[in-house]
């Protein structure tokens, strides 16, 4: 990696971009002709743009030719104050690194896939005599098989229900499985074979697991044939109850097959990626097919800028598969300019061949057209919602005398129980809806007295705006609010106003939203400094919008408080035991089900717990029962 600044260099061009061009021309003298990735940085060192190149010097030289650049890149060059490069072994590796850096750094002038949701998977825990089938997000672990990805929790839940209905696999946790002495409700409704109470042998359950794997791998026809044969044989032996149970499983399998709306016969694993552009926006729809089944679809929304559909498609694909394993086939609505290079990069990532294909006819083309229709309809809905959102924001500006329509509204709330586990939270919203990436949690420190709501509000504002003044004093990043709403009354408003005044911040509008008589929604009072409190008409759409903002902050505060309280309860029970680390705590919780179960366990039970041992068991027991370990 190398870094070049602009000190002591004569201007190369006249005009507002000469400083950036000067930086780039200085960098050219030391840039290699090898493949790699370059980063344009602003005066603060933040990434403006990330690009990849087959030959770094030749590619970066193009940015000195200002007349040939689009307006977007001219602005980028104008703001550039330094440049960093990383060399790679090939252009394909450079493309993979570029996608990773764009997703991580989110440069202002790149096409950025802003998707912080993880993808759900199905997991089969094969390190147990009776494997469990369940949904999973996050890192993978050994001793399990994973199937997916799925587009949403709804899609994975649908498949999970089908697997339970057809293959009768258990979905309960190991701790629940080990503690049962009679079948649960899922057995009664024929969604589980009840291995927990030996209603099925280990060998027969292993057969169900094998069939489920066949199903997830796309071998549904062979499963149906085998089930039909089993049903006929059971009927011939006059085992009508067993035959009826197998018939229900066949019906469930047929129902699953009929649920897919796109015909992808003959294709095992593939993604269908289609985009639609309108009004400066892009929507990309991705349909995930695994084992020939539709695992659902997900829309992604991007700002189009001056990039065409093909360029957007190329940038999107590289970022989509940065944290997602690419399938063998990706069907596209638009062919990206560097299709062969992207396919090569994805093949390197997948360690097998990945084909990018833009079909022209047949079932594959029909699948792409179906995805394009979904992209167009999703973008139309978003644009319509944006128009309505804009009208609401204009109403907010009118009601609170704002100089312009707010681009960012922040809402603050606190949550605690009798002063314990106190948290303050901030949510943000704008023209595109809730900005969940901007949500913040503030664990209130111990110097605030229990139950002091005003003190809590002061601390939250000191930390939030103290950091804002330190990191963005010129307010150039777009993270300063145009309006602040506080869930509370005049006291909370005054506490927040005093903090901002002490910091020298006098131009951030503050509004406190106080609950009305009997805490009825629709009768809220709005408090502003220097103005009499007022209410809005009960059916005013802007009132509904403000209530929605307040309710979202309240929901986030309650969720944060509950998570923190649960964590502190577990911590108070187990983390205070000397020698009990996170791994040992996890074993205890998995075996006994809860911290209370560990506390109430007898010494022999602790000694027999997996991975504990007599010495540690005695230490744990002595912690909860001082002086009794030897009794």
Q: What is the pLDDT of residue 229?
A: 80
Alpha-carbon dihedral 209, 211, 217, 223, rounded to 10 degrees: -170
The 10s digit of each residue's pLDDT in 165-195 is: 888 999 998 888 988 888 988 888 888 999 9
3-class state of residue 175 by DSSP: helix
What pLDDT score does 457 carry? Answer: 85
If one counts every other C-beta atom within 10 angstroms of the C-beta of residue 490, the result is: 14
Q: What is the length of the chain?
A: 631
Interior angle at CA 191, CA 187 and CA 193, nearest 5: 55
Residue 441 gets the label, from left (phi > 0), alpha (psi -120 to 50) or beta, of beta
Report how far residue 243's alpha carbon sits from residue 236's, in angstroms, rounded to the nearest whole number. Answer: 9
Contact 274, 332 (CB under 8 A): yes
E strands of 546-622, at which residues?
A: none
In the chain, which residues have pLDDT < 50? 2, 4-14, 260-261, 418-419, 631
CB 320 within 8 A of CB 345: no
In DSSP terms, 136 is beta-bridged to: 121
**Could you read off the pLDDT of 379-405 as tens digits, one per residue?**
888 888 878 888 999 999 999 999 999
Please, what sign has the CA dihedral across residues 573, 577, 580, 582? positive
First to last CA, the chain: 66
* Neighbouring C-beta atoms of residue 370, cutoff 10 Å: 18
Percent of the chain's residues with pLDDT above 70: 87
Residue recorded with tokens 């300019």: 337
Q: In the chain, what's the furthest Cα-to-Cα distance?
A: 96
Q: What is the pLDDT of residues 235-268, one digit of tens each?
A: 888 877 778 777 877 776 666 555 544 556 667 7
Q: What is the crossing angle of helices 541-570 and 362-399, to 10°?
A: 100
Write out the H or E segment, with its range, that includes residue 525.
strand 525-527
User: For residue range 21-38, what is the model confidence (pLDDT) as tens digits?
Assistant: 999 999 999 999 999 999
| Torsion, Cα of 250, 255, 260, 261 (10° steps) | 140
Nearest alpha-carbon partner for 176 in 223, 128, 214: 128
Please, what sign has the CA dihedral across residues 216, 217, 218, 224? Answer: negative
Which residues does 498 contact at the CB level (< 8 Å), separation at least 6? 458
For every residue of 449-474, DSSP letters joined together read PTT-HHHHHHHHHHHHHHHHHHH-TT
What are the residues facing 300 on neighbouring strands? 284
Residue 400: both structure tokens together: 């609170």
The C-alpha atoms of residue 275 and residue 334 are separated, in whole angstroms, by 8
Is the C-alpha dihedral spanning 4, 7, 12, 13 positive or negative?
positive
Q: Could you give the CA distance from residue 28 to residue 136 in angstroms, rounded to a whole number? A: 48
E strands, 95-232, in order: 121-125, 132-136, 144-147
pLDDT at 158: 82
What is the value of pTM for the model shown? 0.69
pLDDT of residue 279: 77
Contact indicator for 374, 300 with CB cutoff of 8 Å: no
Query: Cα separation of 144 and 150, whole Å?
Result: 17
Helices 339-350 and 309-320 cross at an angle (nearest 10°) of: 10
Residue found under tokens 């089930």: 227
| Model pLDDT, residue 214 | 83
Q: Tell me if residue 70 falls in helix, strand or coil.
A: coil
d(CA 295, CA 147): 10
Q: How many CB atoms lie within 10 A of CB 343?
A: 20
Distance (Å, whole) CA 533 – CA 511: 10
CA-CA distance, 414 to 422, in Å (whole number)?
7
Report CA Rg, the chain.
30
Is 104 exposed, middle or buried (CB count within 10 Å of its CB: 0-12, 13-18, 19+)? exposed
Distances (CA, A) of 608 to 84, 578, 590, 591, 630: 57, 20, 14, 10, 17
């Amino acid at each position: 990696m190398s870094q070049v600044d602009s000190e002591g260099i004569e201007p190369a061009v006249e005009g507002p971009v000469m400083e950036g061009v000067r930086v780039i021309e200085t960098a050219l003298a030391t840039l290699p002709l090898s493949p790699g990735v370059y980063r344009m940085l602003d005066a603060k060192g933040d990434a403006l743009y990330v690009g990849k190149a087959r030959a770094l010097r030749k590619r970066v030289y193009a940015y000195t030719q200002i007349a040939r650049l689009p307006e977007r890149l001219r602005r980028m060059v104008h703001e550039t104050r330094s440049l960093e490069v990383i060399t790679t072994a090939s252009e394909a590796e450079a493309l993979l690194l570029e996608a990773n850096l764009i997703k991580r750094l989110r440069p202002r002038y790149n096409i950025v896939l802003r998707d912080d949701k993880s993808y759900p998977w199905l997991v089969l825990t094969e390190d147990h005599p009776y494997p469990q089938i369940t949904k999973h997000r996050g890192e993978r672990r050994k001793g399990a098989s994973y199937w997916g990805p799925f587009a949403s929790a709804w899609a994975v839940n649908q498949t999970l229900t089908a697997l339970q209905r057809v293959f009768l696999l258990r979905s309960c946790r190991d701790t629940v499985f080990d503690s049962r002495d009679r079948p649960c409700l899922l057995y009664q409704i024929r969604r589980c074979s009840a291995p927990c109470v030996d209603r099925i042998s280990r060998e027969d359950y292993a057969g169900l697991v094998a069939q489920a794997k066949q199903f997830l791998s796309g071998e549904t026809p062979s499963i149906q044939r085998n089930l039909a044969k089993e049903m006929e044989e059971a009927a011939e032996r006059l085992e009508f109850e067993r035959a009826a149970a197998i018939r229900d499983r066949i019906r469930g399998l047929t129902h699953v097959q009929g649920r897919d709306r796109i015909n992808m016969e003959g294709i095992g694993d593939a993604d269908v990626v289609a985009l639609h552009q309108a009004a400066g926006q892009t929507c990309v729809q991705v349909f995930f097919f695994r084992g020939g089944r539709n695992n659902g679809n997900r829309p992604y929304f991007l700002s189009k800028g001056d990039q065409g559909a093909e360029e957007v498609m190329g940038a999107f694909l590289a970022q989509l598969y940065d944290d997602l394993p690419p399938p063998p086939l990706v069907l596209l609505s638009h062919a990206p300019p560097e299709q062969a290079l992207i396919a090569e990069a994805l093949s390197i990532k997948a360690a097998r061949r990945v084909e990018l294909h833009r079909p022209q006819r047949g079932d594959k083309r029909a699948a792409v057209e179906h995805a394009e229709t979904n992209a167009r309809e999703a973008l139309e809905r978003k644009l319509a919602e944006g128009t309505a959102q804009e009208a609401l924001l204009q109403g907010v500006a009118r009601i609170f005398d704002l100089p312009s329509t707010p681009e960012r509204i922040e809402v603050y709330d606190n949550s605690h129980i009798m002063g314990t586990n106190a948290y303050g939270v901030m949510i943000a919203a704008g023209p595109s809806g809730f900005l969940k990436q901007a949500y913040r949690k503030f664990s209130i420190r111990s110097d605030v007295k229990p139950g002091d709501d005003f003190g809590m509000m002061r601390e939250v504002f000191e930390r939030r705006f103290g950091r804002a003044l330190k990191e963005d004093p010129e307010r150039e990043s777009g993270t300063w609010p145009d309006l602040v709403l506080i869930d509370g009354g005049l006291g909370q408003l005054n506490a927040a106003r005093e903090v901002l005044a002490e910091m020298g911040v006098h131009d951030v509008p503050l509004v406190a939203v106080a609950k009305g008589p009997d805490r009825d929604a629709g009768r809220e009072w709005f408090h502003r400094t220097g103005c009499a409190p007022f209410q809005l008409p009960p059916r005013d759409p802007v009132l509904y919008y403000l209530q929605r903002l307040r309710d979202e902050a309240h929901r986030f505060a309650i969720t944060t408080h509950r998570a923190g309280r649960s964590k502190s309860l577990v911590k108070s029970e187990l983390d205070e035991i000397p020698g009990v680390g996170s791994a040992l705590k996890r074993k205890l919780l998995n075996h006994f089900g809860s911290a209370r179960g560990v506390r109430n366990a007898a010494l022999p039970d602790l000694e027999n717990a997996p991975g504990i041992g007599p010495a540690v068991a005695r230490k744990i027991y002595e912690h909860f029962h001082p002086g009794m370990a030897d009794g």
